Amino acid sequence: MNGPATEIRVLLLTDVVDSTKLSERLGDEVMAGLWAAHDRAARDLLREWRGREIDKTDGMLLMFQAANDAVRYVDAYHRALATLPVPLRARAGLHVGPVVLRHNSDADVALGAKPLEVDGLAKPTVARVMAAAAGGQTLLTAEARAALADTPLRIHCHGHWAMKGLGDPIELFEVGGPDKVFELPPDSEKAYQVARVDDQWQAVREIPNNLPQQVTSFVGREREVREVSDLVATTRLVTLLGMGGLGKTRLSLRVATNALGLFPDGVWFLDLAPIRDPALVVSEAAQTLGVREEPDRPLIQTLCLAVKSCRLLLILDNCEHVVKASADFAAAILRASPKVHILASSREALRVPGERSYPVPPLPLPDQRADMGALTRSAAVRLFVERAQLHKPAFALNERDAPAVVELVRRLEGIPLALELAAARVRSLSVAEINARLKDRYKLLTGGGRVLLERQQTLRALVDWSYELLTPSEQTVLNRLSIFAGGFDLPAAETVCGAEPVSSDDVLDHLSSLVEKSLVMTGEVEDGTRYRMLETIRDYAREKLQGADDAAATAESHCQHYFAVAKNVRDGLKGSEQAKWVQRGEAELDNMRAAIAGVLTGPDAVLAVKYAVALTSFWTLRGYTSEGRKIVQAARSQPAVKASDIAYAHALFVEAALATDQNDHAEARDMLETCLALRRLHGRPVEIAATLSTLSQVQLQGGDAAGAAASEREALAIFREIGEKLGEAIALLHLGQIAVYAGDEALAHSSLSDCLRIARAIENREIEGEVHLRLGEWAFEHGRHRDARNDLYRSLELSREAGDRRGEVHALWWLGRTDLQAGDLDAARGRFDDVLQTFRDFEMREELADCLEDHAILACLDGEPATAARLAGATHEFRRRRDLVLSPVGQRRWEQRLRTLREALPEAAFNEAWTRGRNTEIDDAIAAAQAHATDRVPAR
């Protein structure tokens, strides 16, 4: 054996936690396989990060040349353990120090000795550090921290810890990735945190505090804990803001527990909720801190003197009802002592100089389509499940109930108290039954614990607490704001809320106050600030509004305001700022829906028709065709609409225009002919021309090209006579489409060129994009594929600029056809799959059939002719049932494609697949096409 050598080395010691319990649960055979998987993962990473294995038990003693290699290794090691068939958690300690290396001879190794053995003080040091860690933690000594060069990993100091067998306390650091939540190591007999007080070491567990012990788990809030902890360490006053029930108190206590080592003179919790007299805030603080009142001296002065040289943290919880007294107290303490830090929680800021506000949001909501893995990581889901298990131990998240749990946490908006109250109901209701009863959440969510504050026992009591602290004017504004759906801007709030007893000039101040009190939330948008309310608050305020004298007037004001918005959207879509007005329409869509719903159930149903007229272009552009048709159908059935020829004609026109987009030709034609007769009777030129122009599209889709041309030429003449440029451009576009259908290249080119010139002059991106789409289609059908792609890409660009989703999907579809023609099947597959779903969502039946046909050809080229024949059969039957008429060009393409499919299969096989396809429902055919496209996506 060679003589020992002393060297400075990097030692890493790992240990798999709870391995004995795991062995008992899994059995020896399964555990042996798991250990083998662990060792493979650990050793594979060891080669990557240039480490050396020294010893092996439930973990490993490893040695590295560089500290950076060691921390990268251990970060990867933790992640690798989480991916094992049975996930493992390990603790790890890292130290850099002198070691004695003994290299054993080959003979000794043959007798069972290790090739290399390590001794020296560094070895017990790294063992003590590792023992202080919890599962998933990597702790470093100060020497290891100093040896690290730049690293992308985050490093957090946990203060000094006393450890058995070591002299002075050692400073411990924790290392982890960007999402790592740093928590104090377990406070055990092996190690305990210490702080230096007057140059003496004192155990953190002995640092004076009155932090209440929590009997339920703390779930989620990793980012908030990290950010607030950083603020508390560097900022004298931090105030957590948010409505009641968001968990501000639990967050404060979590941060305070982690911060004990920073405040050797104590961490003190003051619960101000029971206090009703603001003058008692100082008395409560004095009692908590053990400060007695002195004769002839104000108690606040005595308090300030007592903490003048102290390094402590004060938690002021629930300040909102005594906010002025809390602010005065905090300001006085901060002025008196430079070492005191304050962490407050309140519905509104204290407004003390130097204060840092930290809004506490609800828990993040899981995606509606999240898989089980994502749901188990969702804090909102975990909180509900853990609290539900307190009431029903057998409750568990499973595949069957997961959708209902997602619905529940989303409807309760991630509000922790609401989730806990809902969890109490699992004793007697399923999650689906709880969801069914959430229409009256205030009646349902009443199961809070008896020892909690009264306002925490029911959701209604919680919101009552906040509501009763408002001034009467603030209450009135909050009630009126509940009429808004999906958010609102300041002009809308001033219009709707600015009526007696509140003036419109005062709305901004009241709204700002509600924002500060966390009852209204804000968000920045491109054109300013947008406001919204949580549904929990909105439901409460809406109930108050419905019982108030101003409910009807507020609804009327809201309806009229958004009718003006709808008209502005209509006019904006005609000009050069289409994209801006599309965004405005989307932003206010929920408010317009709410207004229309209110009108349809009231006496003025004609206003619903006016809304529909204003929103027709928006509905068409954004794919809300079915929604628009339902609204107009409901309006058209109202007596007030039937009694007015003008209103009824408008309703017929809008419904027909929307039906045209969904290829309901016969129904649309009947409505348009009735509408045209009414409008000719009343002599309204613009409306007559618009009806004729829309009728021409229906006639063309029904195969009547001559009738379509006659209707459109009459419309064009009227538009030109009255100088209506937008109408003239649309008429020319339609004439170009008719010429393309009929194969008249000269007429198509001249009509589309004239349309393009006008569209550019009036800066209408939608029509300009449509012209390039038609030119691209024409070029494609005549074999000029380069020209086709140029026009189609230009159409795509213009459609996106205009926010025209229909134009965008058409351009993508035809680009997919050019990909197919060029033999780029993967590109075509991706485009066809996307647009097929959009055509289905928009109920664009003619385009849906054509795209399904494209999928059939794609399947044939992929070498699956039977799938292709089934899709073709389904397409044929869908067209037949829907009376979808192909253009001459489309008919020729279809016949050629059928010949291709027949040649790819024996006759009997083709007929069998074709018949199966004809007996397939269209939704099943779409699913089959999408499944084929997904299966063929190349591996990345």
Residue 632 phi, psi dihedral angles, 5° rounding = -70, -40
pLDDT digits (tens, 9 = 90+) for 274-323: 788 888 888 888 888 888 878 878 888 888 888 888 888 999 988 888 88
pLDDT at 922 over 90: no
pLDDT for 592 equals 92
Question: What pLDDT, on the 0 to 100 scale, is given for residue 201?
Answer: 65
Write down the residue that tokens 């408010």 correspond to.
591
The mean pLDDT of 37-61, rounded to a whole number, is 86
Per-residue pLDDT tens for 683-719? 888 899 999 999 998 888 888 888 999 999 999 999 9
pLDDT (0 to 100) of residue 932 = 79
Least confident of 436-450, 517-531, 649-663, 835-849: 436-450
Q: 157: which strand partners?
A: 173
pLDDT number for residue 315: 92
Q: How far apart are CA 516 and CA 273, in angstroms?
A: 19
CA dist 887 to 700, 739, 893, Å?
A: 9, 11, 10
Of 203-212, 223-232, 365-374, the poorest mean pLDDT is in 203-212
Q: Is the pTM of this model over 0.95?
A: no
Please give the share of the chain, as a percent, with pLDDT higher than 70.
92
Looking at residue 276, its pLDDT comes to: 80
Tokens 């309703």 appear where? Answer: 651
Q: What is the mean pLDDT of residues 642-659?
A: 90
Segment 253-270 shows an average pLDDT of: 84
- The reported pLDDT for the residue numbered 863 is 86
pLDDT at 456 over 50: no
Q: Could you read off the pLDDT of 809-853 as tens digits, one per residue?
A: 899 999 998 998 888 888 888 888 888 888 888 888 888 888 888
Output the pLDDT for position 719: 92
Coil, strand or helix: which one is 160? strand
> In whole angstroms, what is the distance from residue 548 CA to residue 540 CA?
13
Distance separating the N- and C-terminal Cα atoms of the chain: 53
Phi, psi (5° rounding) for residue 53?
-80, 130
Structure confidence by residue, pLDDT tens digits, 717-737: 999 999 989 899 999 999 998
Q: What is the mean pLDDT of residues 773-777?
A: 89
For residue range 579-610, what is the model confidence (pLDDT) as tens digits?
A: 888 888 888 999 999 999 888 877 788 999 99
The answer to whether 741 touches 705, Cβ cutoff 8 Å, is yes
Among residues 273, 244, 250, which one has the least CA distance to residue 418?
244
378-417 in b/e form (b: 16+ CB < 10 A) is bbbbbbbbbbbebeeeebebeeebbbebbbbbebbbbbbb
Q: Judge whether residue 231 has pLDDT over 50.
A: yes
d(CA 406, CA 122): 50
The arithmetic mean of pLDDT across residues 567-571, rounded, is 90
Residue 258's contacts (CB-CB under 8 Å, 6 or more residues apart) are: 182, 183, 184, 225, 229
Q: CA-CA distance, 348 to 652, in Å (whole number)?
A: 52
Which of 791-827 are b and which e, b meaning 16 or more Cβ less than 10 Å from the residue's Cβ?
bbebbbebbbebbbbbbbbbbbbbbbbbbbeeeeeee
Measured between alpha carbons, how far is 826 from 830 in angstroms, rounded to an integer? Answer: 6
